[in-house]
Copies of this chain bind each other. A is one copy, B any other.
Amino acid sequence: MRADNRPADALRQVRLTRNYTKHAEGSVLVEFGDTKVICTASVEESVPPFLKGKGQGWVTAEYGMLPRSTGSRMRREAASGKQSGRTQEIQRLIGRSLRAVIDLEKLGERQIQIDCDVIQADGGTRTASITGAYVALADAIDKLLAAGKLAANPLRDQVAAVSVGIVDGVPLLDLDYVEDSGCETDMNVVMTGVGHFVEVQGTAEGVAFSRAEMNQLLDLAEKGIAELQQLQRAARDN
């Protein structure tokens, strides 16, 4: 049995709290069960050097974990002087996922910087981050539209993400930390509102997985992401 008698194809309780902190143009606390991430979107009226004068904007992301967001304390990356490979992998994934649904030319020569900071971790921090960051990004863009800085909405679609995996032979949706630690296969899936894939990252932790298992996992992910996108729309409508 999963914690709280959760069915294999059910998400944990998901909450999206907008305007969670006051300074950022978009600020969302996203909770996937006990996983809690603060996602902010900061608008900067300039672009990185490689885009200067190209008539387009940029969206990028950084990710971090508070040292004691985890069961045993991790070393603070600012103190150790560098970001781990895992951190860089995750923040690159978040950035790519958001750029997949935004028209960078319509954004104009400005950058939206996403920050996802995990304050409590219980599995799925990267998928929660993408799901929350989309809402923060959309809120920041609304502010730009309201201020007349954008002629048209550069967002082309929604984006959300979920993890799926096989634990003791059973395909499960939205793994918590215990499930994630024990799973044979772990897959993170990012999808748009029309149901297409932005990213699929499947990893065999122990035994390699078959094509049939992969299909089961993708089915679960499609179901979960459709629900997450419904929750994103509901949060944005409040």
Q: Which residues on B sit within 8 Å (CB–CB) of A201?
A: 199-202
Interface flags for A116-133 (1: CB within 8 Å of B; 0: not) read 010111000000000000
Which residue of chain B lies nearest to A88 when distances are taken between CB atoms in the complex?
A: B85
Instruction: Report, as a range, how many residues of chain A touch the other chain.
Output: 35 or more
- B210-A204 in contact (CB<8A): no
Note all chain B residues with C-beta closer than 8 A to A214: 197, 200, 218
Q: A42 near B: Cβ within 8 Å? A: yes
**A48 beta carbon closer than 8 Å to chain B:** no
Asked if A115 meets B67 with Cβ closer than 8 Å, knowing A44-B73, A77-B78, A202-B200, the reply is: yes
In the bound complex, what is the Cα–Cα distance between A115 and B78 (angstroms)?
12
Q: Complex formed: what's the CA distance from A78 to B117 in Å? A: 12
A96 within 8 A of B: yes
Which residues of A in the span 194-230 have a Cβ within 8 Å of any Cβ on B?
A: 194-204, 207-211, 214, 218, 222
Compute how far the CA of A117 lies from the CA of B38 in the bound complex, rounded to whole angstroms: 12
As for how many copies of this chain the complex holds, the number is 6
Q: Which of B89, B113, B210 contacts A73 (CB 8 A)?
A: B113
Picked from B23, B96, B113, the residue with its CB within 8 Å of the CB of A120 is: B23
Chain A interface secondary structure, helix, strand, loop or mixed?
A: mixed
Cβ-defined partner of A203 (8 Å) among B68, B96, B204, B210: B96
Tell me the minimal C-beta distance from A66 to chain B in angstroms.
5
- The answer to whether A40 and B66 touch across the interface, beta carbons within 8 angstroms, is yes
A91-122 vs B, CB cutoff 8 Å, 1 = contact: the mask equals: 11000100010000000000001010101110
A83 within 8 Å of B (CB atoms): yes
Tell me the smallest distance from the CB of A157 to a CB of chain B, in Å: 8
Chain B residues with CB under 8 Å of A88's CB are 85, 88-89
A100 to nearest B CB, angstroms? 5
In the assembled complex, which residues on chain B have CB atoms less than 8 Å from the CB atom of A36? 21
A121–B21 CA distance with the chains assembled, in angstroms: 10
Cα distance, A113 to B42, chains bound together (Å): 31
- Since A62-B79, A200-B214 are in contact, a sample of 7 more A-B pairs with Cβ atoms closer than 8 Å, ordered by chain A residue number, is A23-B68, A40-B66, A64-B78, A66-B115, A67-B113, A82-B82, A85-B92
